[in-house]
Amino acid sequence: MSVLRNDVQVALNDLHVALLESADHYRYAAEFVTCELASELFKTLAEARDLLASEAEEAIRARGDLPSVPDPDRETGEQLLQRLEAFFSADEAADVMAQGLEREAEFEQLLNAPQMQVIDKNYPSMRRACLQSIDVAREKLNASAAH
């Protein structure tokens, strides 16, 4: 493992961390939300992000690097805020769905950032798969929020 990372390694690690954070947030939401349908949706979204994170991890390791992981303290704080916001909401599930949609927008911004485009040269389908997963997540979150 090199101490200095090149642009592709940095982008892959940023992507890996974002995917893990996304999966963790959905998994956490699935644990505390009281609506069973919402809980199942969140578990499904977490599993899909875990699969993409595994692909990113493999790419990182193939480049001779070790994958980064999310900051556990930061995640704990974000999850606490998520739970507090949902707790004070009139409709817990709808609030958590809205939070999910906000995180999907943030994830999309990361993927569309210029520094992430270096991934496309060696891993042309990776960013595209992540962007497609955002579309699927949005579709499912919006459909569930409408019910």
The residue with tokens 């507090």 is 84
Enumerate long-range contacts of 63-68, CB under 8 Å, 24 or more apart.
63/8, 63/9, 63/12, 64/1, 64/2, 65/1, 65/2, 65/5, 65/9, 65/12, 65/13, 66/1, 67/13, 67/16, 68/13, 68/14, 68/16, 68/17
Residue 39: predicted pLDDT: 92
Residue 1: predicted pLDDT: 47
The model's pTM is 0.85
State the 10-residue block means of pLDDT for the chain, 147 residues long. Answer: 76 95 92 88 96 95 84 67 58 80 96 95 94 96 82
Residue 96: predicted pLDDT: 83
Q: Tokens representing 121?
A: 């040269």
Compute and round to an integer the Cα radius of gyration of the chain.
16
Please tell us whether the domain made up of 7-146 is placed in CATH 1.20.1260.10.
yes
CA torsion sign for 73, 79, 80, 81 is: positive
